[in-house]
């Protein structure tokens, strides 16, 4: 299966698919963190147009997430950037669906499900459904794909932890790469995608 992981520099999802023998590539404006030769550095649009069996897209979420409402909501200084981000993501979704048989678009809880023209409703998942005792509610917009099933639900362990551990990403201290750490796909989720969708 030819697989493209769009807007990914970590290689986490790409390598989960490659381990199962798929011809998987990643693409991002940043170079690959692991220096992989299976990574396109640059704009994802032209790469998507090459045609794929499966595309998993991770469009930028800063202006779309509810965590940015104080900056990007209606009446706020950067509201136009949110509107532009919604339109760009709608176009990306349509482009991915036109160039792949199967599509998953990932984004945190935000405005796409309520303010965009994307008709598909997202499936919401949590890391603790896939072996990570942490919280990061994330939406998956799916085209011709089944919902992702729990692979290792550790909700009981999650419930026993203090809030700072449950929400580790939320409590990360400020740093130049905080955004990158927060956006990386959990290994358990990447493995579940490869095992369940890589058929």
| d(C-alpha 11, C-alpha 78), whole Å | 31
Asked if pLDDT for residue 138 goes beyond 70, the answer is yes
Closest to 33 measured CA to CA, from 173, 181, 192, 132? 181
Tell me: pLDDT of 174 over 90: no
Looking at the chain, the whole-number percentage of residues with pLDDT higher than 70 is 89
The more confidently predicted of residues 166 and 3 is 3
Q: What is the mean pLDDT of residues 63-91?
A: 77
CATH architecture of 2-197: 3-Layer(aba) Sandwich (3.40)
pTM as predicted: 0.90
Q: Is-contact 14 25, C-beta < 8 A?
A: yes
Among 16-30, 108-122, 167-181, where is mean pLDDT lowest? 167-181
What's the first-to-final CA gap in the chain, in angstroms? 8
Both tokens of residue 155?
Answer: 């909700």
Give the model confidence (pLDDT) of 126-135 as tens digits. Answer: 999 999 999 9
CB 55 within 8 Å of CB 100 = yes
Question: Is pLDDT at 41 greater than 90 in this prediction?
Answer: yes
pLDDT tens string 42-54: 999 999 999 999 9
Give CA separation, 31 vs 8, 34, 114, 145, 181, in Å: 9, 9, 33, 29, 16
- Over residues 24-38, mean pLDDT: 96
Enumerate helices (H) and strands (E) in the chain, giving the number of each. 9, 7
* pLDDT (average), residues 166-195: 79
Q: Which of 6-10, 16-20, 109-113 has the least mean pLDDT? A: 109-113
Q: 65: which DSSP letter?
A: B
User: What is d(CA 65, CA 112) in angstroms, rounded to the nearest whole number?
Assistant: 9
């Amino acid at each position: 299966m030819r697989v493209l992981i769009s807007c990914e520099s970590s290689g986490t999802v790409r390598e989960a698919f490659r381990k199962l023998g798929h011809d998987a590539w990643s693409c991002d404006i940043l170079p690959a963190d692991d220096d992989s030769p299976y990574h396109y550095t640059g704009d994802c649009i032209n790469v998507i147009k090459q045609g794929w069996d499966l595309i998993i897209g991770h469009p930028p979420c800063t202006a779309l997430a509810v965590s940015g409402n104080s900056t990007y909501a209606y009446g706020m200084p950067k509201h136009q950037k949110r509107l532009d981000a919604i339109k760009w993501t709608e176009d990306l979704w349509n482009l991915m669906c036109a160039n792949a048989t199967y599509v998953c678009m990932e984004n945190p809880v935000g405005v796409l499900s309520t303010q965009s023209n994307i008709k598909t409703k997202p499936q919401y998942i949590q890391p603790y459904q896939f072996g990570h005792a942490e919280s990061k509610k994330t939406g998956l917009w799916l085209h011709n794909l089944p919902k992702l099933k729990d692979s290792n639900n550790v909700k009981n362990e999650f419930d026993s932890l203090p809030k700072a551990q449950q929400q580790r990403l939320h409590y990360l201290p400020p740093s130049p790469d905080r955004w990158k750490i927060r956006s990386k796909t959990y290994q358990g989720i990447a493995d579940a995608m490869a095992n369940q969708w890589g058929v």
